[in-house]
Amino acid sequence: MQKKIIPITLAAALLISSFLSLVSISHLQGNARIINYTGVVRGATQRLVKQELNNTPNDGLMEQIDAIIEELLTGEGENGLARLNDPGYLKLAAQMKEDWQQIRQQIYQVRGGNAPDELFAASERFFELADQVVSAAEKYTEGRVLMAQKSLSLLTGAFILLAVALSVHTSRQSARQKALAQAEEANKRRSEYLSRMSEALRAPMNDISELMYVADPETYELLFINDAGRETFGVDVLAGQKCYRVLQNADAPCSFCTNHFLKDGETYTWEYTNPVTGRHYLLKDRLIEWDGRPARMEIAFDNTKSECEKLQLKFTLDAEKMITECVRTLYQENELKSAVSQMLERLGSFLSAGRAYIISIQEDSLCEAIQWVSGGTQADAARRHNVPLSTIRRWLPSFDQRGCIVIEDVETLKDSDPVEYEFLHSQSIHSLVAAPMEMDGTLTGYLGVDNPSPDHMSNIAPLLQTLCYFLMLAWRHAQSQKQLSQLSYYDKLTSFYNRNRYIEDTKDLSTAEVSVGIVYLDVNGLKDINDQHGHAYGDEVLAECARRMKHAFPGANFYRIGGDEFVIICPGLEKELFESRTLDLKAQFRADPICRAAIGSRWSEKIDDLNQIIAEADARMYEDKKIFYRTHPASNRYRHHSDELLYLADPGVLQEEIRQNRFVVYLQPKISCPDRRAVGAEALIRYQPRPDALVLPGNFLPLLEETGAVSQIDFFVFQFVCSRLKHWMEQGKAVFPVSVNFSRCSLAQPLFVEQLTEICDSSGISPELLEIEITESLREVEELDIRALIIKIRGAGFSVAIDDFGTEYANLALLSSVEFDVLKLDKSMVSDVAHNPRTRAIVGSIAEICGKLGIRMVAEGIETEEQMAALNACGVRLAQGFLFGKPVCAGQFEKTYLQQ
């Protein structure tokens, strides 16, 4: 066909050219006739005019001329003339028609007798116009001839190009057909080769024992399966079979199909347990070409045995890990019941069991002690209560031999042991494993799991036996811990909590948001009682004291923190009730001449610093204790709970502790009430025997006062304050007066003031920056002239502050008998000022008197804004207390209050 295209094309080109040539010739002939007849009109008109001038009319000629002109314009007439579609020609032809009409009129006029001159002139114009019409027709015809020549030339060229293109195309097509024929021949030979290879491969594929198949990755059509695969999957006819239907018994392509993982030249390896054979295979997949089409080949290696061994090893390792976690829980959890619950949950979840539980044996009955149920639902806990032990009589011989009970199918018991079957079947138990639990050779119960996963039924018994062993160890450990707890947290003599529990409870209570009342009690003269009547009698006295405390404060927490020291903590108790019970307790001891006790108490609306509240109760107890020893001078040395700090009574040891910086000076700010700006500070001492312990002064100062060693502490604090003031001044900080407390022992020294002056001079500090705090109760000390001492202190340039004003020792006469600079209102009055109008009236009067006498009054122990507002209304302008700031170390005080 392609060979005939060129001749056909050339023949078509010749026919088209001939047709166009004929059309062009026809048009040229028509144009030539138009030119000819235009000339005929001119000649006929010229002859007609001559005839008319010779008086020879010729109307027939006139009609012929009319017909020819009309046919030239319209193309319609008997002469077969075509209309020349040229605007220029048609315009001239129309003009020629008009001029002809004029000539006709002139002819008629000449026939009527007019002169022929007009006819002659009109004919001349007509002849010129006729010549123009002929020229226009000729010009138009020449243009058409030229156009026909160009068209024929272009057409001839186009056909020539088309012939060349067809020749080239035919040549290329011939080459392509030749190449395709060669490729087809090569494919045929390759297909024959692959067919021979396929046949050659099928033989060894059928000989191997591993399963092997080939499938189309697009259509999943099974193309080949070896003999081992045919036998395993029962394949007889391969045509039209889908791999997922034959190999997986599935109705659709497998969701785990690896086709999208496969790449040319690479093997994809994976593992899978086939649901049809129930075997585990190592699978190797690869893309290949099979019978000239892309295909997926898979070889399956049966490694069920090694997989079982691997799963068994994994189960063993996971079981060991689970046991380790259970043992850790049993020994780390404080509550054994909670630990056992967690153990049962781990055990049941690990074995995929429906339930894990512990059954205890009590008086020949089975009682369910604790259980875990799958899904978190709680079954009826009483369903195994009071079940006769005889129900599981078949198990007891195995339990006696420390063996386990394994029931893989409860239905096997239906006929052999209907009682046991009913017991288990009624609880929806299909299978179970149980291990005995014994204590000292006696069966106490068993650990069991219901409906565990059947895959590991044979491995569960050793696991349960191991857990039973550790469970019984944990139970023994819990019993031991319980006994140790009794010994660690309780005092046997009084049944009170001991010091260990006291430390833990005070730590927990320190963050509670409740009010608290503290009673600190110390048995007076216990050493004398033990010495005179024996320790057994002394124990009776202590027990009696405990009984009285329980009677006075029902529901409180009682602690014996020392040999003769007790603390009562009453959280959440109202102030009035607390104070009433405290008075009742004091009255009980005052009425007994033998069983006497010193009692100090402190109630606080909130717990900002529990240790400070206890220390204040302790300090008040100490004051009560001092009264007892003043009235019983023959009694042996007062023993405070600071007996554990007795080593500080040695002046050498005390000096070494000071040198080792184990005594730390704390500072508490004094605040200006109007603007709450720090305007002063009070120095307070703390003892820090080790980094994690801080001892309040109430725990060691009484001991040091008894031994007279307290002066070392007094002057150490004073010297520290002087050096710190000097340091602040050198740094350019704005400093203010700091008050220092001195004990009776220090104040009674003959050169007391001289020592103060010497320390100030050596430190380069003006005495004006120091306040010496003196307790008003010192007026009762006979060997000390308090008035003369104050005069001497003020004479040396120091300020004097009277401390604890408002306590039972305070005396308003002091305001008139001695000149001093600062009056410190005791906390006992401050705590009551917000709610007691009488107290506010007294505080207001004292503030007014101090203002008139030029004495600065400081209110101590302010804890609430309500107290602050009441004191401000009373005219108090200086304040100190936890509301503004707790005592802090000097470094922290400097950062907080001396930044200006």
174-to-169, 170, 183, 368 alpha-carbon distances in Å: 8, 6, 14, 97
What number of residues does the chain have? 900
Contact 474, 330 (CB under 8 A): yes
Give the DSSP letter string of 490-527.
B-TTT--B-HHHHHHHHHHHTT--S-EEEEEEEETTHH
Average pLDDT, the chain: 84
Q: Which residues does the chain have with pLDDT short of 70?
A: 1-7, 9-14, 17-18, 20-30, 191, 194-202, 376-385, 485-486, 627, 629-644, 776-783, 806-815, 899-900
* Strand stretches in 414-509, DSSP E: 432-439, 442-450
pLDDT in tens, 717-770: 999 999 999 999 998 888 899 999 998 888 888 899 999 999 999 999 999 999
pLDDT digits (tens, 9 = 90+) for 666-696: 999 999 998 999 999 999 999 998 887 888 8
Tokens of 845: 């009067």
Fold of 1-163: Four Helix Bundle (Hemerythrin (Met), subunit A) (1.20.120)
pLDDT of residue 144: 75
Q: Which residues of 672-694 are buried (b: 16+ CB within 10 A; e: fewer)?
A: ebeeeebbbbbbbbbbebeeeee
d(CA 474, CA 341): 13
Cβ contacts of 188 within 8 Å, gap of 6 or more:
none
The proportion of the chain whose per-residue pLDDT surpasses 70, expressed as a percent, equals 90
Residue 673 corresponds to which amino acid? C
CATH topology of domain 646-898: TIM Barrel (3.20.20)
| Element containing residue 626 per DSSP (H, E) | helix 610-631
The single-letter DSSP state of residue 642 is: G
- What pLDDT does residue 379 have? 42
pLDDT of residue 810: 47
Per-residue pLDDT tens over the stretch 580-605: 999 999 999 888 877 889 999 999 99
pTM, full prediction: 0.40
Which of the 8 DSSP states describes residue 695? E
* Of 360, 358, 335, 359, residue with least CA distance to 347: 358
Give residue limits of the domains in the chain: 1-163, 209-307, 333-485, 490-631, 646-898
333-485 is a CATH 3.40.190.10 domain: no
Calpha distance 170→614 (Å, rounded): 118
Q: pLDDT digit string (tens) for 364-377?
A: 888 877 899 987 64
In sequence order, what are the residues at sequence separation of 6 or more whose Cβ sits closer than 8 angstroms to the Cβ of residue 613?
516, 518, 602, 604, 607
User: So what's the pLDDT on residue 519?
Assistant: 96
Spell out where 673-724 has E strands: 677-690, 693-695
Q: What pLDDT does residue 142 have?
A: 77
Domain covering 209-307 assigned CATH 3.90.550.10 in the classification: no
What does the pLDDT read at residue 637? Answer: 46
User: Residue 435 has what pLDDT?
Assistant: 93
- 490-631 CATH fold: Alpha-Beta Plaits (3.30.70)
Q: What's the token pair of residue 297?
A: 């080949």
pLDDT tens digits along 312-331: 778 888 888 888 888 888 87
Say yes or no: do domains 209-307 and 333-485 share a fold. Answer: yes
